[in-house]
Amino acid sequence: DAGVIQSPRHEVTEMGQEVTLRCKPISGHNSLFWYRQTMMRGLELLIYFNNNVPIDDSGMPEDRFSAKMPNASFSTLKIQPSEPRDSAVYFCASSILQGGGNQPQHFGDGTRLSIL
Amino acid sequence: RKEVEQDPGPFNVPEGATVAFNCTYSNSASQSFFWYRQDCRKEPKLLMSVYSSGNEDGRFTAQLNRASQYISLLIRDSKLSDSATYLCVASKAAGNKLTFGGGTRVLVKP
């Protein structure tokens, strides 16, 4: 079975450019999460969706960051304009939303983003 | 104070030895707990869920202490391949949001 699929795997771009990261969750999963990981700050939750609806975007660092989930099988995280401090590994994860307790999340391979 | 705290390590462990480490969580409303493993430059992967009664999966044993608000992970008969960062995770019942600790690095040496 296919896991969470992220693209691109690596992105190097100059500051000021728009960056779009993509994620395809596991089929049948109805929760999707975007994380950022750096050495200094560890794994940080940026935003998550339940049934394609954004539930908590309090982790989105600035207005330069935006995320969408137009359908159950696709989500994007956009940074515009990008800055060097946005350099990090960005992970997408998905899980099944059900009552009575939270389910473990399954992560994609991540996108390594470098802003020069 | 972080919601989920871990000793960053590293824990240097001789091959074949036993290693154990804890993780504390500050939100008493936390209901679900997990241990994830992350290898260098890879994504976090679920190692095991943590149940109230404690649970074992092969050489790995997880315990939950609600009164003191910590969970633990014990690795018996350590293998070189156990070298990784172990992430502790806690979450409340509603919303499906997980909170990750900063990770504990374990290095198993021959």
* A59-105 residue pLDDT tens: 998 899 999 999 999 999 999 999 999 999 999 999 988 766 667 89
Q: Quick check: B3 pLDDT over 70?
A: yes
Q: B22 to chain A, minimum CA–CA distance in Å?
A: 18
What one-letter code names the amino acid at A58?
Answer: S
* Rounded-to-integer distance, Cα A46 and Cα B101, Å: 15
Neighboring chain A residues of B91 at a CB cutoff of 8 Å: 102
What distances in angstroms separate CA B79 from CA A91, B61, B93, B109, one per listed residue?
Answer: 28, 15, 35, 8
Contacts with A, B 16-55, CB within 8 Å: 31-32, 34, 42-46, 49
Q: What is the pLDDT of residues B55-93, one digit of tens each?
A: 999 999 999 999 999 999 999 999 999 999 999 999 876
**What was the pLDDT predicted at B98?**
86
DSSP string of B45-56?
EEEEEE-TT-EE
- When CB atoms are compared, the residue of A56, A97, A107 closest to B44 is A107
What distances in angstroms separate CA B66 from CA B69, B89, B103, one per listed residue?
Answer: 5, 14, 20
Q: Return the beta strands (E) in A5-115 as ranges.
A: 5-7, 10-13, 19-24, 31-38, 42-50, 53-56, 65-71, 74-79, 88-95, 106-107, 111-115
Contacting B with CB below 8 Å, chain A residues are 31, 33, 42-43, 45, 48, 50, 55-56, 91, 95, 97, 100-110
Among B38, B23, B27, residue whose Cα is nearest residue B91: B27
Q: Which of A31, A43, A89, A107 best tests the B interface by mutation, with the highest count of B CBs <10 A?
A: A43
* Rounded-to-integer distance, Cα A48 and Cα B46, Å: 19
